[in-house]
Structure 1
């Protein structure tokens, strides 16, 4: 229990808090009593459910905007006193054609987007231009147009274009403008504005009143109601015609003279518009923007939005609703945008901060703060309750009793009545961190001291040393689930689950990866856990951490709706995860869930608190969701979320190559050679939240897959190389609706001379020529080496032949002579003489064979072309008796043979011919030579007795082995066919490359020969 002085100090703080609450309540009452023209607006940047953005000259917007239009391609066009501008939601681009397309004037007074995609431009002091497909067409007095200011364009259902000018109404037909004759019964000399209603009726305000021309007629009718200087005409959803008077009011006009019951706005107006929801918007010349949400109600109040509320200027003129339902307002200082907002800010006093929110049992939201008394929000009404500040925690139990905690204790609120202060068991603390109640009425409180406090049966107890409880820590969040289990979330990724007095720790070992546990929320099947590092799910004792990256960081508020949707208040904004996407939070394949995000672009101020006060999300009885941030409290109605269903038009704006810009058109863009830095600028015309538009692009012929560019609007390529490409880009609007068709731009990058096909062909030919030269050079070197070896071989053979001739043959010849002399000395009938003569015959035969071998060593073919004649001479020189018939058959044109080849073939053929003469007893020997293009053939055939074909290498038989060895040595193949009694055929085949001498000696010799022939 506290001492008397401490209780007195606490009582003094309570009295001070009640005094501040009373003062704040009185202030709110006084503010509500202040007079004003209609409903007072929030001092933020919102008009009712609209979010407002302003662009001024300081933001790059043009000066005074006098006209607005949106063409079919999605661009927003701004007419100003200084020219025409185009806006894609991000960048203002001045459009100023040159040459023959140059505009006839600079000051623009009217814009109109026609159904065929053209933009009609009216100028002050006369002249009209139309932009279509990048080309401009101009109209002036020569085309029948009056030389006076064009105030407004209107196009009727027949496609006829009307122009309201200072000197009357004109229409365009067959390329010329026509004035109205008397048969039209047009009242007045001026046409100040024109408008075509839903039925096709043309309404025109003149200097004499209001008139209309029904569809299909050619005669105007006057409206009997008196009007002032009408600057705008619009049609309400119920068919009523409203006017904006520059010197009067915004009101509905009675067409038949009967009194109208709709309200009027007694302020001069310059523009008028009914949006798609039926609300009336009106601009004023100095009094800001007016909005009438329910123009059909007689007692409807209107909203006003002025510069003090964030408007760019109080002097406003044109109004436009674009394709996505966004309202655009042109002002004297730039451009203002109003788009539907899903996020609605709560009406809280200025300077309020550190909000503790909790829903009460009546469907209202209770908001506590550090410096304001307890606030109650319901039906957009703000009330104050007499409760001391600050408040740092709030909780509603199952009996709809609200518990509120702060440095001065605990309070309960039920049925709108506050109970007395409930003292806490600790005197030295700075605030209540978290509160929870279980089904048995047990109250759990976390203070900024270690452990947790429990109130049961009127007595406090302190739990600080439970097994698994982080030492020296107090819970950041508390929740008692449907099974009366207490969940305590701590800093540094720790949860302690207390069930029937038994603690169960949950941390990294169990798969928890959320960092500081700052949010707990229970649904039908499990528990959601949020922290500064992510989101997790605890279900059936299993812990799973979500895949989402930074999107799920800094979560301090979680709401699970009855339908299964999940709402998170985190550092990246308010996230909405539909029930169908929840399984992808834990998808093992890595697929990320699709979610919607609401952040500062939607009007969310700041980020949620991460420490105290938490939780930062609540759901009231009406189904509305509330989220607290460091700078305010906002609400979202899940049942009334507005989505943008319009896929954004996509355009390729320009191409920049190495610092030089090229316009993007429909035809292929021809780019110079050698481009190192290619930049392609593109855009998408989703003007509601252009900062959230996402892009993907692909350069066909370069990229293999689509590139995710995020919100970037320029594609970069380094050294793409020459070739034909097609750049394609697609985009999604702020709600993820993709334009899958997108836009495309063909590109042709010229090649440098070394990148052309002919250059590559020349390089290939040059490479082949170099290879051929290298091959010929190699052949020369090899041929030279072969010639040297062959020369050495021939010289060695000649030496051996000389020595055999000079020694062995001469010795045998001398021996024969001596034997002959000895035989002559014997008698003729001496038997020894017969033996000697027989021996001499054998010796002469051996000497003849030796002479033949010597002749073979010396070589019988001196030139490659006499191979056939040399083989015929073999048969003649053999002198065989009786001589057989020897024939030579030559096929093809004889060609010069390589020296070594000729010698080897001669020796093979000689051996075959001698074998046919000596052993085969042949009657005919045929020598065939075939000079083919791809090979050389030598074949020797006889009709002798044949011979057995022995295997090579058989001892004692060297003739066949020698022929095979000679054939292999020159790269040929030898084949022997013989059958007993059927003759013998010896055939040799040799490739042309190995047999024939080259006809040319190389490229150098060929060039030299060509030069010699020319000279």
Structure 2
């Protein structure tokens, strides 16, 4: 890569601006078309109103990614074609002051010189270059070699960069004060000190040239070396420096040689800018659109555009994909707006103006024909092929043909506004006269056509030919075709037809309400309007190119709709389009076409598209429209108003608002660059962002994400590689995996423990029920064994005795039978009591107090005794086994009080203590003797049974009684969870509390 323009800083920090000339291939243009003049190129201006930090431009550079970097007196900015990005939030403070120079490095970075510092920008970071540990020093000159090595002179010392740091280099003897540096294509280092120019190789001086006052050096891309003192320009011819004769300006601050070998000079004063090509010198000044005649620096970018740094703003000279031509030799007072256009058979282009005659364009040069050549000063409404020069239709003046060196009006043409003449496939000339009708000129005869020939009679708005050369007429209701003998209806519309085109597989009709598209594939017809993406509803002209793309002219724009888009819309496969809209940035001097029912757009035989704009003709070659695909660039990441560089980022825990800012370097039509993005890990698919360059996310959960964004330029070109940045949102400790694992394990442990306890409790309940049944069976077995079986055994023995006595002692046997019958009745009574006891234990829906209250009815046989039942404490349910055993003990005590004690009062007091149940039964009956308390009544098991039941549930039973003093029975049993375990022959049983009621 060739060396770049070097930087010179004087003691007062005045800069010879840095000129970066990039290796470019010349734009492909038609061989017969010369490069447009400076005045024909589009000049665009940006100032502080568009975002520049300061209008005084000190330096310019373009990095390999396509961004243009602008240094000003008040800071550094990066330009993507639409927005200026400053670095106040993510750059060192020195970048907010004077920027002395910008030099692109060997990769995709940039070297930046400030008033007292030196930085290297790479991978979105600004790294200060230290000198002997010092961050601040003043640089006098800087130059970069083609291999990326940078040479720097400061504080009387020469240094060069190596791996991003400065290392010493040898400064030649005799150098007074270095004013500028340059590096030739052969690697030679050139040094200027104001008196001499030194040439060095490998730290040795190989030549010294005396060139007094030359403080400026420049090495162009072709290997030539230039030197100057601000008034004289010298060129190195291999042996020495020779003065350049008439370079363009008498005084200058910088020069540049572009990719076409043209010499550019910036005056830095009052003379503007010059460009010299061969012996021709062009000048551009404030009168031609320069922001200021004081131009300081020039840059040719990757697209071949030229950026101008002035003291009044940043400007760009842009040829664009369109080449526009200006009408010259304008006559004062005439309206020279272009209103119609035509291509002659020889390839020349003819344009008609509003009042200034016609202009023939050939090989980039123009020739005007007007009143002096016999043309009337009216509105030119069309052309048609007619000999050496086309015939010209001029408003109400008629049709003119060229006779010799002058134009003359054709005879037999009816009077009126003659418009849009066309020649059909058989050579007939058709034209219309507004508000009159349609006429045909053939073999010197003029014929008029009307409703008798198949026309609708509605006002005719357009005449044109289809690809086969057939004539079509457009009116307020549709289109009609001439079949050779008459007109026949072809297509119907809702308004006047302004123009029509027949691309492959379809038809496009211009109307005031939009573009009517018809697909020949399925015969479907749809109207495309501004609502569906059309740049304006009034479509004045339409034509197709070799690729069947539609080029349209609306009232406010010139645009292209690619074939796939308009066909998909016509067939109903899509609901909108995204056209390419062309503006002044594309080389148009104007995007407006006068809506005067003329032919304003044509497709030339070489495939180029010509448009008659109000400021002159503009031409574009669709085959040369390919541009560099757009590449998205991540600009910054803002987390909760905290600005971060666009690199991988780790974010702390919490809910955040994360904003991604992105862009794409596009100096042509940047407003039509479209983006799509996705956040991998959050978005399921790509999101179409349109032209928006920012997206925000809120409420992202802790995770690892990758943000990707892709850009597509106006022509649909994309690099296919998304720009990507990875972010990680850290979780709170309770959002981490280990915490989740702990919680899951704890939950599992709790579930297991709850399940275990529930299962154990259920098992205990089932076991208790089983033990209740076992205990009940044992009780029944004991009672049957102690009562029924004993009674039956005694009855059996007595029956055997009676059998012996019947024969010998009949009288005695009769008495024995009576005794046996009495004992059997007692057995039946005891059996009934047992059955009653069994029934009572089955009544589970009643509490202990209710069961005891019901017992009164069971034993009462008269008005006495008086029964009183009292409950103390909060009643609660008692474990079923305990309740049944307590009931049996109390029932036996009540039975004794009611049946045997002959008491007048019987009281029952039930006390519900915190962990104990206490029941006291008292009567004022006969009482019992000590012997009776110890052994019970003969043949009865009541007292023994009561003690057995109490022992079964671990209760304490106290029976207090004296003869004639009544009886007091006190039963105490624990009901807490610590109820005792007891053994009973077959195992261990546990008594549990029931839940509180």
Both structures adopt the same fold (TM-score exceeding 0.5) = yes
Matching residue of 2:258 = 275
Find the partner of 1:651 among 630, 633, 645: 633
Q: Which segment drifts farther, 785-794 or 621-630?
A: 785-794
SS in 1 for 2:235: strand
Is 1:108 the counterpart of 2:115? The answer is no
- Residue 793 to residue 80, structure 1, CA distance change in 2 (3 Å): same
Report the counterpart of residue 977 of structure 2 in structure 1.
none
**Partner residue in 2 for 1:40:** none
Structure 1 residues 402-456: Cα deviation after superposition (integer angstroms, max 9, x where no partner): 44334414213358753315565466xxx44533333445443334437544456
Q: Distance in 2 between matches of 1:376 and 1:273?
A: 35
Structure 1 SS opposite 2:671: helix
**1:52 aligned to which of 43, 61, 65:** 43
- Given that 1:252 and 1:264 are in contact with CA atoms closer than 8 Å, whether structure 2 keeps it comes out as no
Query: Is 1:370 the equivalent of 2:361?
Result: no
**Would you say 1:717 and 2:660 are equivalent positions?**
no
**Do the aligned residues in 2 keep the contact of 1:352 with 1:369 (CA within 8 Å)?**
yes
Deviation at 1:627, TM superposition (A): 0.7
Deviation at 1:394, TM superposition (A): 0.9
Tell whether the 8 Å contact from 1:600 to 1:606 is kept in structure 2 after alignment: yes
CA distance in structure 2 between the partners assigned to 1:258 and 1:194 by the alignment: 16
Query: How far apart are residue 193 of structure 1 and its match?
Result: 2.2
The 1:721–1:404 alpha-carbon spacing in structure 2 relative to 1, beyond 3 Å, is farther
Cα distance in structure 2, aligned partners of 1:283 and 1:522 = 50
Pairwise CA distance, 1:94:
3.5
Tell me which residue corresponds to 1:222. Answer: 208
Match of 2:682 among 702, 710, 719: 702
How far residue 671 of structure 1 moved from its aligned partner, in angstroms, is 4.5
Shift of 1:189: 1.6
Shift of 1:701: 0.9
Aligned to 1:345: 324
Give yes or no for the alignment of 1:485 onto 2:470.
yes
Contact 2:391 2:402 in 1 (8 A): no
The alignment's TM-score, normalised by the length of structure 2, stands at 0.65
Q: Residues of 2 paired with 1:216 and 1:161: CA distance?
A: 14
- Number of the residue aligned with 1:199: 186
Q: What is the deviation of 1:64? A: 1.4
Q: Is the 8 A contact 1:360 1:620 kept in 2?
A: no
Could you say which residue in structure 1 is the equivalent of 2:725? Answer: 745
Q: What is the CA-CA distance between 1:301 and the residue it aligns to? A: 0.8
Q: Distance in 2 between matches of 1:505 and 1:310?
A: 53
Alpha-carbon distance in 1 for matches of 2:993, 2:340: 98
Which whole-Å CA distance do the structure 1 matches of 2:839 and 2:723 have between them? Answer: 85
- Please say if 1:437 is aligned against 2:429: no
Q: What residue is the counterpart of 1:911 in the other structure?
A: none
Out of 286, 298, 306, which is 1:327 matched to?
Answer: 306
**2-structure distance, mates of 1:810, 1:468:** 135
Contact 1:51 1:338 in 2 (8 A): yes
Give 3-state SS (helix, strand or coil) of 1:449's partner. coil
Deviation (angstroms), 1:629: 3.7
Distance change in 2, residues 1:858/1:578 (3 Å):
closer
**What are the within-5 Å matches in structure 2 for residues 538-557 of structure 1?**
549-551=532-534, 554-557=538-541
The alignment partner of 1:408 has SS state of: helix
Structure 2: how far apart are the matches of 1:609 and 1:341? 19
Q: For residues 591 and 851 of structure 1, do their structure 2 counterparts lie closer, same or farther at Cα, with a shift above 3 Å needed? A: same
Q: CA separation in 2, counterparts of 1:409 and 1:76? A: 54
Q: Where do residues 465-544 of structure 1 align in structure 2 (5 Å cutoff)? A: 469=456, 473-481=458-466, 485-491=470-476, 494-507=478-491, 516-521=496-501, 529-531=509-511, 532-534=513-515, 536=517
Describe the superposition over 1:492-519 as per-residue Cα deviations: whole angstroms up to 9, x where unpaired: 6x222231344433346xxx7x965322
- 1:97 and 1:425, CA in 2 relative to 1: closer, same or farther beyond 3 A? closer
Does structure 2 retain, via aligned residues, the 8 Å contact 1:356–1:628?
A: yes
Return closer, same or farther for 1:88/1:266 CA change in 2, 3 Å cut-off: closer
- CA deviation vs aligned residue, 1:483-541 (integer Å, no higher than 9, x gap): 5632122346x222231344433346xxx7x9653223457988654445225357699
| Secondary structure of the structure 1 residue equivalent to 2:655 | coil
Question: Are 1:63 and 1:332, in contact at CA under 8 Å, matched by a contact in 2?
Answer: yes
* Inter-partner Cα distance in structure 2 for 1:758 and 1:52: 63
Distance 1:856 1:210, change over 3 A: farther
Are 1:484 and 1:499, in contact at CA under 8 Å, matched by a contact in 2?
no
Rate the CA distance shift 1:491–1:899 in 2: closer, same or farther, 3 A. Answer: farther
Distance 1:261 1:773 in 2: 99
Q: Please list every run of 5 or more consecutive structure 1 residues that lacks an aligned counterpart in the other structure.
A: 1-44, 863-897, 904-995, 1006-1015
Change (3 A) 1:622 1:191: farther
1:265 matched to 2:256: no
Q: Tell me the residue number matched to 1:208.
A: 195
Which residue number in structure 2 is paired with residue 598 of structure 1? 582
C-alpha contact 1:343 1:598 (8 A) present in aligned 2: no
Give the SS at the match of 1:741.
coil
Task: Write the mapping of 1:407-486 to structure 2, written as runs, cut at 5 A.
Answer: 407-414=395-402, 417-422=406-411, 425=414, 431-449=417-435, 452-455=438-441, 458-464=445-451, 469=456, 473-481=458-466, 485-486=470-471
CA drift of 1:636 comes to 1.8
**Could you tell me whether the CA contact under 8 Å between 1:726 and 1:747 is conserved in 2?**
yes
Q: Note the C-alpha offset of 1:355.
A: 1.0
State the 1:87 CA deviation: 3.0
- C-alpha separation in 2, matches of 1:671 and 1:77: 34
5+ long unaligned stretches in structure 2: 1-35, 843-878, 885-986
Distance change in 2, residues 1:129/1:583 (3 Å): closer
Q: Distance in 2 between matches of 1:813 and 1:504?
A: 133
Correspondences of 1:920-935 after superposition (within 5 Å) = none
Name the CA distance, whole Å, in 2 between partners of 1:574 and 1:998.
Answer: 100
Name the SS of the counterpart of 2:259 in structure 1. coil
The residue number in structure 1 matching 2:959 is none
1:444/1:452 contact within 8 Å kept: yes
Question: Contact 1:71–1:113 at 8 Å: present in 2 too?
Answer: yes
User: CA 1:681–1:129 in structure 2 vs 1: closer, same or farther (change >3 Å)?
Assistant: closer
Secondary structure of the residue aligned to 2:409 is coil
Change (3 A) 1:212 1:409: same
Q: Deviations over 1:814-854 (max 9, x none)?
A: 999999899778769x9xx9xxx9xx9xxx9xx99x98998
Among candidates 165, 177, 202, match of residue 190 of structure 1? 177
Aligned partner of 2:55 in structure 1 is 63
Q: Secondary structure at the match of 2:280?
A: coil
**Contact kept? 2:181, 2:189, Cα under 8 Å:** yes
Partner SS for 2:347: coil
Question: Alpha-carbon deviations, 1:1-53, whole Å to 9, x = none?
Answer: xxxxxxxxxxxxxxxxxxxxxxxxxxxxxxxxxxxxxxxxxxxx983674332
- What is aligned with 2:928? none
Aligned residue for 1:302, secondary structure, equals strand
1:76-87 alignment runs, 5 A limit: 76-87=68-79
Instruction: Determine the C-alpha separation between the residues in 2 that align with 1:400 and 1:593.
Output: 43
2: distance between equivalents of 1:585 and 1:245?
63
Residue 200 of structure 1 and its aligned partner are, at CA, apart by 1.9
Q: 1:231 aligns with which of 205, 216, 219?
A: 216
In structure 2, relative to structure 1, the CA distance for the partners of 1:179 and 1:450 (3 Å cut) is same
Task: Specify the alignment match of 1:384 in structure 2.
Answer: 369
* Counterpart residue number, 2:231: 247
Q: Secondary structure at the match of 2:287?
A: helix
Deviation of 1:91 after TM superposition, in Å, equals: 2.8
Per-residue CA distance 1:74-126 (angstroms, 9 max, x = gap): 54333333333333333333335899x654994332222222555333345x6
Change (3 A) 1:311 1:856: farther
